[in-house]
A and B are shown apart, each in its own frame.
Chain A
Amino acid sequence: RILKCYKLWHIYEPVFLLFTFRTYAIRRIRDAFRENKNITDSEKIEELVNKAKANLEIIHRQVTIGQLYSTQKLVIE
């Protein structure tokens, strides 16, 4: 189940338009999953998965807004 969540997040990666947020999201998600991979307490897992779902919704909304108000790319891209 957690793997499904993780895959969902990764699909969103290219959609975030603003460089700063895109790179941050990828990095933060990867590190968060890596940090929590050893937790076995099922209650804690439930809590983390719910938090992950909430964050997913936030990302989804913000990505839409980012697309509506997009601007030019950064020099580095």
Chain B
Amino acid sequence: MLLWRRLAALRAAPGPRRLSVAAPRPGPGPGAGKAEAAGGRAGRGPVPGPSGDGDGALRPLYMDVQATTPLDPRVLDSMLPYLTAYYGNPHSRTHAYGWESEAAVEKARRQVADLIGADSREIIFTSGATESNNMAIKGVARFYKSRNKHIITTQTEHKCVLDSCRSLEAEGFRVTYLPVQKNGLIDLKELEAAFQPDTGLVSVMTVNNEIGVKQPIHDIGEICRARKVFFHTDAAQAIGKIPMDVNDMKIDLMSISGHKIYGPKGVGAVYVRRRPRVRLEPLQSGGGQERGLRSGTVPTPLAVGLGAACEVAQQEMEYDHKRISQLAERLVTKIMSEVPDVVMNGDREHRYPGCINLSFAYVEGESLLMALKDVALSSGSACTSASLEPSYVLRAIGTDEDLAHSSIRFGIGRFTTEEEVDYTVQKCIQHVKRLREMSPLWEMVQDGIDLKSIKWTQH
């Protein structure tokens, strides 16, 4: 019965009023007089966002889930108690605040471990996948440096992996950056050929964040286990979206990111196998928390959020995967049927369907992104989008310079609707056609001139 009353209060509360952005905001203060039950005042809270946008500026659709994801309400719901009432430090052993915090962190640890088929003692909470990657690569390399001085990785890894390897090279390690084939997958024979007697670590990401290809992790795991080399995978984009099992896939180290699976930003985890034991040299020294591998107070609300996100992902994985595949199919078929000369970067079959990277020939990528201002898209990973160069991943899979410049990445997630996909497709087709009309290169192609045969004069 109480539920009905609260429900009525919610419905009676006025909807969001469209205030002018320029006017001074009435904060939650003046509304405090209306002391209702849960419904309360439906006023404007502190609203960040571009000021001076004018009245009722509408927000763009979010199609960039590879960059980050919205926080699932179920995850936020599990985090809030630890942000408000239960604020203890999980490492305080002497009082109830510490004990309840610790219990929550352990529960989260178990939830993360269940998602990947690991034991909860093998999960270490970190500040994100970047820190996890750094820990795994630098930590393993430095611990075993007396025996193993060689590391194998690929050219399409995330920046943090490549940068860690580069800093290890400066410390005296040798690194082999495996090239990828045109479809984005590595060649297993090349991988086998790259092994040397003192190879200590192989690092290959499961699902690429720019082109969405899924590497053959099973096979790589077999190869590494046979040669007794540690296998690290950056699974930030794959976790919670495709089934991962560390024992099945023979993974020794895995990096997990919170904000890619509808969890909070600022938290991640690293899986470090215990049997056979993988030893790491810790990056962060301190009080010996997290098995001595990562000192520092574990942020309880964030860890709880990560755990909840993993649990939700496990329950929703099949449902989400089916939906996302359908929406991705819809997006790709619609765009490709209406617009000629569109290339999908990355293998068609071995991919995660929610990450689609399309190159539109004869159209400049930046101008297309600017034109699609009602849709939040990106053309390359968020980490590299500040520079003017095309993405190194596209260069590694061998796309031509001009196609690499005109690539757009569409991300489809749990919350993406059919209408959003249709709207995006419609706007995309419209703008590509418009930009091509304006392009002299397109005219030349229409006339049948082969662009590669032209000798451009230098001025």
Q: How far is the CA of A55 from the CA of B43 in the complex (A)?
A: 25
By the criterion of a CB under 8 Å from any partner CB, how many residues of chain A are at the interface? 33
Determine whether the beta carbon of B319 is less than 8 Å from that of A31: yes
Determine whether the beta carbon of B423 is less than 8 Å from that of A76: yes
Are A68 and B415 CB-contacts (below 8 A) given A61-B77, A75-B61? no
B76 CB contacts on chain A under 8 angstroms? 62, 65
Judge whether A20 is part of the interface by a CB distance below 8 angstroms.
yes
B274 CB contacts on chain A under 8 angstroms? none
Judge whether B414 is part of the interface by a CB distance below 8 angstroms.
yes
Determine whether the beta carbon of B58 is less than 8 Å from that of A60: no
Determine whether the beta carbon of A67 is less than 8 Å from that of B13: yes
Q: How far is the CA of A29 from the CA of B301 in the complex (A)?
A: 27
Shortest distance between the CB of A71 and any CB in chain B (Å)? 6
Shortest distance between the CB of B14 and any CB in chain A (Å)? 10
Determine whether the beta carbon of B58 is less than 8 Å from that of A75: yes
A23 CB contacts on chain B under 8 angstroms? 415, 417
Q: How far is the CA of A71 from the CA of B58 in the complex (A)?
A: 9
A67 CB contacts on chain B under 8 angstroms? 10, 13, 16, 39-40, 42
Judge whether A48 is part of the interface by a CB distance below 8 angstroms.
no
Bits for B62-77, please: 1 = Cβ < 8 Å to A, else 0. Answer: 1000000010011011
Judge whether B188 is part of the interface by a CB distance below 8 angstroms.
no
Are A70 and B7 CB-contacts (below 8 A) given A24-B415, A31-B319, A75-B58? no
A58 CB contacts on chain B under 8 angstroms? 73-74, 77
A74 CB contacts on chain B under 8 angstroms? 58-61
Q: How far is the CA of A57 from the CA of B64 in the complex (A)?
A: 30
Find residues 31-77 in chain A having any chain B CB closer than 8 Å to their own CB. Answer: 31, 55, 58-77
Q: How far is the CA of A51 from the CA of B101 in the complex (A)?
A: 24
Judge whether B287 is part of the interface by a CB distance below 8 angstroms.
no
Query: Which residue from A28, A55, A64, A76 sits with its C-beta under 8 Å from B419?
Result: A76
B419 CB contacts on chain A under 8 angstroms? 76
Judge whether A2 is part of the interface by a CB distance below 8 angstroms.
no
B375 CB contacts on chain A under 8 angstroms? 75
Judge whether B38 is part of the interface by a CB distance below 8 angstroms.
yes
Query: Which residue from A20, A28, A61, A76 sits with its C-beta under 8 Å from B70?
Result: A20
Determine whether the beta carbon of B74 is less than 8 Å from that of A75: no
Determine whether the beta carbon of A75 is less than 8 Å from that of B10: no
What residue in chain B is nearest A56 (Cβ atoms)? B3
Determine whether the beta carbon of A15 is less than 8 Å from that of B40: no
Q: How far is the CA of A17 from the CA of B13 in the complex (A)?
A: 12
Bits for B348-378, please: 1 = Cβ < 8 Å to A, else 0. Answer: 0000000000000000000000000011000
Query: Which residue from B10, B28, B58, B61 sits with its C-beta under 8 Å from A72?
Result: B58
Determine whether the beta carbon of A70 is less than 8 Å from that of B45: yes
Shortest distance between the CB of B5 and any CB in chain A (Å)? 12
Q: How far is the CA of A8 from the CA of B82 in the complex (A)?
A: 29
Judge whether B170 is part of the interface by a CB distance below 8 angstroms.
no
Determine whether the beta carbon of A73 is less than 8 Å from that of B59: yes
Determine whether the beta carbon of B74 is less than 8 Å from that of A20: no
What residue in chain A is nearest B414 (Cβ atoms)? A24
Q: How far is the CA of A63 from the CA of B420 in the complex (A)?
A: 22
Q: How far is the CA of A21 from the CA of B419 in the complex (A)?
A: 14
Judge whether A3 is part of the interface by a CB distance below 8 angstroms.
no
Query: Which residue from B39, B41, B49, B415 sits with its C-beta under 8 Å from A71?
Result: B49
B56 CB contacts on chain A under 8 angstroms? 72-73
Shortest distance between the CB of B281 and any CB in chain A (Å)? 42
Determine whether the beta carbon of A21 is less than 8 Å from that of B73: yes
Shortest distance between the CB of B413 and any CB in chain A (Å)? 9
Judge whether B330 is part of the interface by a CB distance below 8 angstroms.
no
Determine whether the beta carbon of B11 is less than 8 Å from that of A15: yes
A11 CB contacts on chain B under 8 angstroms? 7
Determine whether the beta carbon of B10 is less than 8 Å from that of A64: yes
Q: How far is the CA of A8 from the CA of B4 in the complex (A)?
A: 9
Determine whether the beta carbon of A20 is less than 8 Å from that of B77: no
Are A69 and B45 CB-contacts (below 8 A) given A17-B16, A23-B417, A64-B38? yes
What residue in chain B is nearest A20 (Cβ atoms)? B415
Q: How far is the CA of A76 from the CA of B321 in the complex (A)?
A: 24
Determine whether the beta carbon of B6 is less than 8 Å from that of A60: yes
Determine whether the beta carbon of B13 is less than 8 Å from that of A73: no
Q: How far is the CA of A31 from the CA of B6 in the complex (A)?
A: 26
Determine whether the beta carbon of B417 is less than 8 Å from that of A75: no
Q: How far is the CA of A65 from the CA of B71 in the complex (A)?
A: 13
Find residues 73-95 in chain B having any chain A CB closer than 8 Å to their own CB. Answer: 73-74, 76-77, 80
A residues near B (Cβ < 8 Å) are 8, 11-12, 15, 17, 20-21, 23-24, 27-28, 31, 55, 58-77
The contact sample of 11 A-B pairs, CB cut-off 8 A, is A23-B415, A24-B414, A61-B38, A62-B76, A62-B77, A67-B39, A71-B49, A72-B16, A75-B61, A75-B375, A75-B423
With A64-B39, A75-B61 given, can you name 4 additional A-B contacts, CB distance below 8 Å? Answer: A70-B42, A74-B58, A76-B61, A77-B58
Q: Which 5 A-B pairs have CB atoms at the shortest separation, nearest pair first?
A: A62-B73, A20-B415, A69-B45, A70-B16, A67-B42
